[in-house]
Structure 1
Amino acid sequence: MRWTKGRGPLRAAVAAGTVLVWMAAAPPAFAAYPGPDPVSGDTRIHDPSMVRTGDGYLLLESHGNLGARTSPDRSRFTRTDPVFPTVPAWVHEYSDGDVWAPDISYQRGRYWLYYAASTSGSRNSAIGLATSPTGRPGTFRDHGIVVSTDLDDDHNAIDPALLVDRQGRWWLVFGSFWSGIRMIRLDPFTGMPHPTDRTLHHLARRPVEQAVEAPYVIERGGHYYLFVSFDHCCRGVDSDYRIMVGRSTSPTGPYLDRDGVPMLDGGGTQLLASHGDVRGPGGQSVLRDGDVDLLVYHYYDRADGGLSKVGLNRLSWDDEGWPLVT
């Protein structure tokens, strides 16, 4: 989820001649989740994405020309210059200059950064790509628009995340509200849409006015895991955002939850929800850091006036191959 104001489309609830049955468990009133790892420094953030660099770690966020922090040890964070000294000119076709939802990773000897431009509640949206040899803010070269949507589309080009599958194919997963989560194939040499495979895959959706967003896919043990955020972000301590997951044997789906409910029918197994002073966790990504899978997300700290902060937790995996927050 990459919007910081109340929003959401109004669209028909039932397709002609089609009956949709949505199955998703309501969040429990309380779950004994572990708290996030202790962090210090400048940890106020929305929609975090983190990568390991030669200097330590780089943590990016929505807004402010893509705000950035660095850390030598994944626990002490210092604000640096933003990614872009000035946002690329094309961004102003889709927003007032604001950019959201960074997804940064290291591939093929470069740092690849996907990000979005939009306004709240609009399908007039676009996802851009920038790359850097070092990952240092100010060194990113923008390559323009990867995919865009407008009011004639039934999906939204925001919340991008890159997947490199076990066969070396590149995919971009994205989407929020409307018809939910989509995926396209990319050219691994350019990071742009694949020159021949232009299929638009459909991975997850929910009923009208119920959010499914912030998609992120990883591969582990022969399965692909789709992490998404359900419900409401950006309401401070009243946020009921929660992180859900499903899995598939193919990057393009179908994704099912632990109970076998397709994510295209509103399914999802809850991974993390509000607990204690941690309210509305979501906007997640997963960092593979050596042999550690690290869940990176934001939440609202009830003990600190509802400020948004970065949350870091390790993921463990149960005997059936499902992730658990530890």
Structure 2
Amino acid sequence: MGMALSAVGCNSKEEKVDITFENASVHDPAIIKVQDTFYITGSHMAEAKSKDLINWTSISDSVSNQKLFENIKTELKDALEWGKTSTFWASDWIKLNDGKYYLYYCVCEGSSPQGAIGYAVADDIDGPFKNLGLIVKSSGEEELKYNDENGEEKIYDSNVNPNAIDPAVFYDADGKLWMMYGSYSGGIYILELNPNNGSVKEGQGTYGEKILGGYHSEIEAPYVIYSKETGYYYLFLSFGGLTSDAGYNMRVARSKNPDGPYYDAMGNDMIDCKGVRGKFLAAQNEYIMNYGNKLFGNFRYPLSEENENSILDPSDLGYVSAGHNSVYYDEETGRYFLIFHSRFPDSGESHQVRVHQMYLNEDDWFVVSPYRYTGESIDKYNEKDIIGEYSFINHGREIWDIVNEFSDVTFKKDGTITGDIEGTFEFKEENKVDINIDGEIYKGVFVKQYDINRKDYTMTFTVMGSNNGIALWGIKK
């Protein structure tokens, strides 16, 4: 099923429009654009492609039918043996200065940080990729020696050293190449790479520089994008456990330097975001939940009376444990896109890829549109467009399995907000908005979007707290 071109725009008179989607299931999607096609790769060497970020075609869904290597079990034998596994976890890819494509893959035993990151190269994005070897390893029970940044030999400690998985490779503003990586265990680290061949530069020690995390706190999936508009490097992360009952959610911090320090809206240095010795995984959430701007959490979309009793696709009802994202910036249009996987309410562990457009607010923080991308562009609106009743949600800071519901508020002509939440708002510059609730200012935008359940276009808003890093959404009724 495709999407009719006439349904893409949303500036015409509102009418019922049945937009359909071709969905794909790629866990931990990392995006790259080659000519006019977007490709994503993820865990288990799953792959999919799209022309429009709306309709996806699956290329592979497991190691057994992967298309990137001619004989992956043979070529990547060293990695699989070290990771004590038969599968691969989150990958990333990038085109380097030599015009070739580099795939950064990883393996992990799973119940311990027995992991490794390696890399491979190909002339074409479709492969075949040729293995270039392992570049960093971590360990479970067996002793592993490494060199610190001063060249001193030490013994790997999973409380403070990184699990060598979840690579994310990016260029900085000066053309230097970096790899941010890590998951749980000792935290998130960064290594500088050679921009000509993708290898690790010498003189950084085995693991490079620590950015945040530690003591097995549930922080993983780093991804970095540089914005020329703001001069910031934005570090996206996923907090919590990835299963449907573990509260996975995406957060962001920023820095003027690729290797940090990174800060959130509260002014926290992310190096302080970590657990405490002696606790593990979810038990550390009380310490890390107060760091990073939370983009959104578990939620269930509001349903109108018309579709309340309809049989709806569970994947349209809301998101659960959405995370492990990548980001794409379209230089021609100035649009930012958040690409991630999500589970869904009452649907177990099944997951699909989702793409949402993002916007920079007046504080230079990203806010995420409430509905998936269907080709919309932000427009110039007037007071009539934005005044009215909204379904409203506060995404909070928690890391939990609760699926939040929307409440009811009204935006009035006099600039007040009434209903389940009370406050004031200021509409300005044709699509920007400041919302004041209990003295906290939330900044963001109004944008008209396609409501996937009502099959109609409606006004939405998305804002981020200037001092608390909390996201609020609204969907006009």
TM range (shorter): 0.7 to 0.9
Cα deviations by residue, 1:248-275 (Å, 9 ceiling, x for unpaired) = 1111111111010111222211112212
How far apart in 2 are the matches of 1:91 and 1:196? 24
Q: CA 1:74/1:53 → structure 2, altered by over 3 Å: closer, same or farther?
A: same
Conservation of the 8 A alpha-carbon contact between 2:117 and 2:136: yes
After superposition, where does 1:1-326 map in structure 2 within 5 Å?
Answer: 40-54=21-35, 56-63=37-44, 66-81=45-60, 82=66, 83-87=68-72, 88-93=76-81, 94-108=83-97, 109-136=99-126, 138-151=127-140, 152-153=156-157, 154-198=161-205, 200-205=208-213, 208-220=215-227, 221-233=230-242, 235-236=243-244, 238-266=245-273, 267-276=291-300, 277-290=318-331, 291-302=334-345, 306-326=349-369
How far apart in 1 are the matches of 2:219 and 2:34? 31
Could you say which residue in structure 2 is the equivalent of 1:13?
A: none
Q: Which residue identity lines up with residue 97 of structure 1 in the other structure?
A: S
Cα deviations by residue, 1:95-153 (Å, 9 ceiling, x for unpaired) = 322111111223322222111111113222110112222201x4212211121122424
Q: Which has the higher contact order (CA 8 A, sep 6+)?
A: 1
Q: Which residue identity lines up with residue 268 of structure 1 in the other structure?
A: G
| Structure 1 residue 195, shift from structure 2 partner | 3.1
Larger Rg: 2
Of residues 162-171 and 267-276 in structure 1, the stretch that sits farther from structure 2 once superposed is 267-276
How far apart in 2 are the matches of 1:249 and 1:257? 12
Is the partner of 1:307 in helix, strand or coil? coil
Instruction: Choose between structure 1 and 2: higher helix proportion.
Output: 2
- Percent of residue pairs identical: 29
Gaps of 5+ in 1: 1-37
| Structure 1 residue 176, shift from structure 2 partner | 1.1
How far apart in 2 are the matches of 1:121 and 1:39? 39
Q: Which residue identity lines up with residue 238 of structure 2 in the other structure?
A: S
TM-score by length of 2: 0.56
RMSD: 1.9
- After TM superposition, where is structure 1 displaced by more than 6 Å over at least 4 residues in a row? none
| Structure 1 residue 51, shift from structure 2 partner | 1.1
Conservation of the 8 A alpha-carbon contact between 2:96 and 2:198: no
How far apart in 2 are the matches of 1:197 and 1:45? 33
Conservation of the 8 A alpha-carbon contact between 2:23 and 2:353: no
Is the partner of 2:299 in helix, strand or coil? coil
| Structure 1 residue 56, shift from structure 2 partner | 1.1
Conservation of the 8 A alpha-carbon contact between 1:39 and 1:75: no
Gaps of 5+ in 2: 1-18, 61-65, 141-155, 274-290, 301-317, 370-477
How far apart in 2 are the matches of 1:156 and 1:252? 18
